[in-house]
């Protein structure tokens, strides 16, 4: 081989290699530019034990997560304590401890309010014996056990807003929802000082520092920049952690418009018929002034009135009949977002998903396909009548005892926190069909079930009730539905092991209709929005007091009554000509009122709404 040929060959190889490098850089840069931009704010120092608190209002929207947590950085071994708000859920908050080997001990905790609508105080206590979580000063859940002792190294306190890849956990992301913002009003850290403290459980904690987020305190905090990790589709940048009006704001944006800025028009994501009403969802919070009949149109149908949900993204459009043809559109005109400098959607239309006929009993093969007269499971959305909000499918081939429907009990919807079924308003019986196919000891996997805002089962352990590979049915009678939707919430107490075969599960679901009643039975004219709505009663169950958050659509007199199970009235109050908007009332029962179930009712001009309260002394 001559030297001239040798040098030409080397030159050609180098040229091709450089082209490859350029191609790789181009692909990497293109991918980078296509990713969302999130934010993270974390302490410079690390802490072992203590009470960590914040006042926060997390971002709403499918596919994103806001958080407040501690993390052993570097994670060797792994140590983490989480509060995570999934934008997908309006009544679920994730509480988690992650230990050696990234072992999760998660509870997707039901709360009777939408955490994305307002600020609440959140926190957790970390001690050598337990981790306990708090909302608005009330303990809501506690973990003890051997895994707590693994949390023995110092951790940094962090907050972030990011976009996971796990759609079966956080839902499917739609970039039309950008930008999204999570707000943190303040943060406090209390040292763990047993026997000499003055705050928290048993006064075992002492305030060490607090930050009101008036500015960026660089002696205590740092902003992550160009940071990400496996499973995160967003890049965390320092420009997206900003301070506005005495708050830390974490931003989720595209790669061009970063920081606390919104230049995007609101978009109408979908529309769904529910009788003589159309439900529509916008990409972001809209200005309430735009939620009027003049700004919406339905082809060939008259619009009587419009109501905006407290989330400011969902509109209820009441129409003059329920006969809508396939292919009918909902049009939105001159809709502005709630940005200080409004972005206004001139006009947009989407096709309305029509209601499908549901026949009863409704039978669903959770986690599986069609079987006998059972329907296949499916993901929840505006175009379906039932479905899961999250979770994964698993199955076994082992024979199932106590049934001839082995195929039904062999499939399973696993690791689920929410399930929904559209039904006419009425009274129903619901049967959960269960078989523990993965755990063979007591207290290996347990969970709670909340159905229609009521705690139905607490610490449900299917193995302890029926053993392994054994069909076990649980029936709940007299379930009242007055919003045309059955809502199931599952919360782990003992999560189990791993990811795929852990957490709450259900093999089959049967919904039977006992009786129905029309909207007019509940609310008068079905085309007129109810004047009053209870947003939450929290905490519930409660010990010393419960705060009732409610909303009224127009000025009116409000009557509040609380009665015992036997019908005896234990409390009454009246409010004269309350203004439009949100209100709250704190009920602190007198000492003679005993533990038990009580019924709260709010009434206004013939509209009555109620909620069950559980007092535990």
**pLDDT exceeds cutoff 80 at 11:** no
Question: How many Cα atoms within 13 Å fall on the side-chain side of residue 562?
Answer: 22
Predicted confidence at residue 480, as pLDDT, reads 85
What per-residue string of b and e applies to 158-176 under the rule 16 or more CB within 10 Å gives b? bbbbbbbeeebbbbebeee
Q: Regarding the domain delimited by 268-353, which CATH topology (the fold level of the hierarchy) does it fall under? A: Immunoglobulin-like (2.60.40)
The pair of three-digit structure tokens given for residue 391, joined into one six-digit string: 């979770």
**pLDDT exceeds cutoff 80 at 352:** yes
Predicted confidence at residue 385, as pLDDT, reads 97
Best CATH choice for the domain 362-519 from the list 3.30.1330.10, 2.60.120.430, 2.40.280.10, 1.10.287.1080: 2.60.120.430
> Is the peptide bond between 541 and the residue preceding it cis, with omega within 30 degrees of 0?
yes
**pLDDT exceeds cutoff 60 at 33:** no
Predicted confidence at residue 580, as pLDDT, reads 79
**Least confident stretch, 308-322, 372-386, 538-552:** 538-552
Predicted confidence at residue 22, as pLDDT, reads 37
**pLDDT exceeds cutoff 80 at 525:** no
Mean pLDDT for the stretch of residues 542-549: 88
Mean pLDDT for the stretch of residues 455-474: 95
Gyration radius of the chain's alpha carbons:
26
CA distance 323 to 321: 6
> Is position 138 annotated as part of the catalytic site?
no
Of 530 and 166, the one with more pLDDT: 166
Could you tell me the pLDDT band of residue 295, with boundaries at 50, 70 and 90?
very high
- pLDDT tens-digit map of 65-123: 999 999 998 777 889 999 999 999 999 999 999 998 889 999 999 998 899 999 999 99
Kindly report the CATH class assigned to 36-252. mainly beta
- pLDDT cut 90: percent of the chain above it: 71
SS3 content of the chain, % helix, strand, coil (to 5): 10, 50, 40
The backbone torsions φ and ψ at residue 34, rounded to the nearest 5 degrees and listed phi first, read: -85, -10
CA distances from 141 to 23, 39, 110, 203, 577 (A): 51, 28, 11, 18, 39
CA distance 53 to 566: 40
**pLDDT exceeds cutoff 90 at 449:** yes
- pLDDT cut 70: percent of the chain above it: 91
**pLDDT exceeds cutoff 70 at 607:** no
Nearest to 274 by CA among 233, 306, 318: 318
CA distances from 284 to 59, 280, 338, 581 (A): 10, 12, 9, 20
Mean pLDDT for the stretch of residues 461-471: 97
Predicted confidence at residue 505, as pLDDT, reads 98
Catalytic residue, candidates 40, 84, 284, 452: 84
Which pTM does this prediction carry? 0.82
Catalytic residue, candidates 40, 80, 238, 284: 80
Predicted confidence at residue 364, as pLDDT, reads 98
**pLDDT exceeds cutoff 80 at 19:** no
> Is position 84 annotated as part of the catalytic site?
yes
Could you tell me the pLDDT band of residue 530, with boundaries at 50, 70 and 90?
low
Q: Which long-range contacts (CB under 8 A, 24 or more apart) does 96-100 make?
A: 97/131, 97/143, 97/147, 97/148, 97/151, 99/147, 99/150, 99/151, 100/150
Predicted confidence at residue 582, as pLDDT, reads 86
**pLDDT exceeds cutoff 60 at 380:** yes
Predicted confidence at residue 34, as pLDDT, reads 58
Q: Regarding the domain delimited by 530-615, which CATH topology (the fold level of the hierarchy) does it fall under? A: Immunoglobulin-like (2.60.40)
Q: What is the chain's mean pLDDT, rounded?
A: 89
- pLDDT tens-digit map of 53-63: 999 999 999 99
Q: Which stretch of DSSP H or E encloses residue 497?
A: none
Could you tell me the pLDDT band of residue 517, with boundaries at 50, 70 and 90?
low
Cβ-contact 517, 510 below 8 angstroms: no
Number of neighbouring beta carbons within 10 Å of residue 548: 21
The backbone torsions φ and ψ at residue 169, rounded to the nearest 5 degrees and listed phi first, read: -105, -45
Of 615 and 222, the one with more pLDDT: 222
């Amino acid at each position: 081989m001559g030297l001239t040929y040798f040098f030409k060959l080397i030159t050609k190889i180098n040229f091709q290699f450089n082209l490859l490098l350029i191609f790789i850089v181009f692909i990497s840069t293109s991918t980078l530019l296509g990713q969302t931009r999130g934010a993270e704010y974390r302490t410079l120092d690390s802490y072992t034990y203590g009470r960590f608190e914040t006042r926060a209002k997390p971002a709403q929207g499918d596919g994103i997560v806001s958080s407040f947590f501690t993390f052993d950085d570097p994670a060797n071994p792994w140590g983490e304590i989480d509060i995570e708000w999934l934008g997908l859920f309006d009544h679920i908050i994730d509480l988690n401890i992650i230990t050696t080997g990234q072992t999760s001990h998660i509870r997707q905790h039901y709360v009777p309010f939408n955490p994305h609508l307002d600020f609440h105080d959140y926190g957790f206590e970390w001690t050598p014996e337990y981790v306990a979580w708090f909302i608005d000063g009330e303990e809501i859940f506690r973990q003890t056990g051997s895994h707590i002792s693994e949390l023995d190294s110092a951790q940094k306190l962090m907050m972030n807003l990011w976009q996971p890849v796990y759609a079966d956990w956080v839902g499917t992301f739609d970039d039309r929802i950008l930008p999204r913002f999570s707000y943190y009003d303040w943060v406090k850290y209390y040292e763990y000082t047993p026997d000499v403290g003055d705050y928290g459980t048993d006064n075992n904690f002492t305030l060490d520092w607090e930050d009101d987020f008036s500015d960026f305190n660089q002696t205590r905090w740092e902003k992550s920049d160009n940071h990400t990790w496996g499973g995160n589709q967003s890049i965390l940048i320092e420009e997206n952690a900003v301070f506005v009006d005495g708050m830390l704001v974490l931003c989720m944006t595209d790669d061009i418009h970063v920081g606390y800025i919104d230049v995007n028009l609101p978009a109408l994501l979908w529309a769904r018929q529910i009788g003589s009403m159309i439900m529509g969802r916008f990409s972001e919070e809209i200005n309430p002034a735009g939620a009027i009949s003049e700004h919406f149109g339905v082809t060939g149908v008259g619009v009587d009135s419009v109501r905006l949900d407290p989330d400011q993204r969902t509109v209820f459009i009441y129409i003059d009949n329920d006969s809508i043809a396939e292919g009918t559109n909902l049009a939105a005109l001159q809709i502005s977002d709630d940005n200080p400098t409004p972005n206004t959607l001139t006009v947009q239309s989407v096709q309305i998903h029509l209601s499908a006929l549901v026949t009863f009993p409704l039978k669903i093969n959770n986690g599986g396909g069609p079987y006998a007269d059972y329907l296949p499971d499916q993901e929840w959305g505006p175009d379906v009548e039932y479905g899961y909000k999250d979770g994964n499918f698993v199955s076994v081939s082992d024979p199932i005892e106590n049934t001839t429907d082995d195929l039904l009990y062999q499939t399973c919807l696993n690791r689920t926190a929410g399930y929904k079924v559209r039904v006419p308003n009425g009274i129903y019986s619901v049967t959960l069909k269960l078989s523990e196919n993965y755990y063979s000891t007591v207290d290996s996997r347990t969970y709670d079930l909340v159905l229609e805002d009521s705690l139905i089962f607490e610490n449900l352990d299917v193995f302890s009730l029926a053993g392994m590979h054994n069909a076990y049915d649980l029936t709940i009678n007299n379930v009242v539905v007055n919003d045309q939707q059955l809502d199931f919430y599952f919360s782990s107490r003992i999560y189990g092991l791993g990811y795929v075969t852990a957490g709450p599960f259900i093999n089959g679901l049967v919904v039977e209709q006992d009786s129905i009643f029309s909207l007019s039975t509940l609310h008068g004219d079905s085309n007129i929005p109810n004047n009053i709505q209870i947003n939450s009663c929290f905490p519930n169950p409660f010990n010393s007091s419960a705060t009732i958050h409610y909303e009224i659509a127009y000025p009116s007199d409000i009557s509040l009554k609380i009665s015992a199970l036997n019908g005896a009235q234990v409390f009454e109050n009246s409010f004269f000509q309350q203004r439009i908007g949100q209100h709250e009332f704190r009920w602190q029962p007198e000492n003679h009122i005993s533990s038990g179930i009580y019924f709260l009712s709010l009434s206004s001009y013939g509209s009555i709404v109620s909620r069950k309260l559980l007092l535990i002394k």
